[in-house]
Amino acid sequence: SMISNRLGFDYVPYTIEIYKNKIVSKCPCFINKNTEFITAYQIMKCNEKHRNFKDYETYVNTLSEMGIENAREKVENMFILDYLIMNEDRHMNNFGIIRDVNTLKWFDVAPIFDNGDCLKIQDYGNEITTYGYGRVFYDIVPFDDMLYLIENLNRIDTSKLDGIVEDYKALLYKYQNYTNLTERKINIECFILQRQI
């Protein structure tokens, strides 16, 4: 949420709460009685599966043809966020579009949501392993390959993320009693986030 906010992405804001002595995330619903969420899976199920970046182009072109403005940039923003936080779980049911339930008009790209499966590390003493693969439609690719999807990466002002690693670290320490993250793991996660930025 902090990254999306700073970069001006359309996103569902998540907050942290303590519920029954457990840490949970909380967010508002991004649809209402007049709108519905249509997943990328539902949109793509009638299209040929390429298992490469052609699926991405097909999806973006479909959204544009259905009248969604700036579809490419909005979908790019999701993959930029996934790259930055190394989100491994961007399956095709946790992104899509919002549609008007009365007219069936495609309204907009759904805000970015469900970003929890990220910054995973396995710590084996002196050896640190970071998982380096995320999802792009039907395929699993190295995170670095996601950047090839972005037409103009220069439009992202990473200086807006100055200090965010320190904010993230403070958040991890604030809830350390609930997460049981070691200081070493907190430092590694912050190092990885800075590296991705």
How far is it, in rounded angstroms, from Cα 129 to Cα 115? 20
Average pLDDT score, the chain: 92
Q: Indicate if the pLDDT at residue 124 is higher than 60.
A: no
Tell me if residue 61 falls in helix, strand or coil.
helix
C-alpha torsion sign, points 149, 155, 159, 163:
negative
Q: Give the rounded percent of residues in the chain with a pLDDT score beyond 90.
A: 79
Mean pLDDT for the stretch of residues 35-41 = 98
Residues 55, 136 contacting (CB under 8 angstroms): yes
Cβ neighbours of residue 115 closer than 8 Å, sequence gap 6 or more: 14, 81, 82, 85, 87
Q: How confident is the model at residue 46 (pLDDT cuts 50, 70, 90)?
A: confident
Tell whether the model's pLDDT for residue 118 goes beyond 90: no
Q: What is the pTM of this model?
A: 0.93
d(CA 196, CA 112): 19
Q: Are 86 and 130 in contact (CB under 8 A)?
A: yes
Residue 66: pLDDT band with limits 50, 70, 90: very high
**Residue type (1 letter), 69:** E
Summarize pLDDT for 147-164 with one digit per residue, the tens. 999 999 999 999 999 999
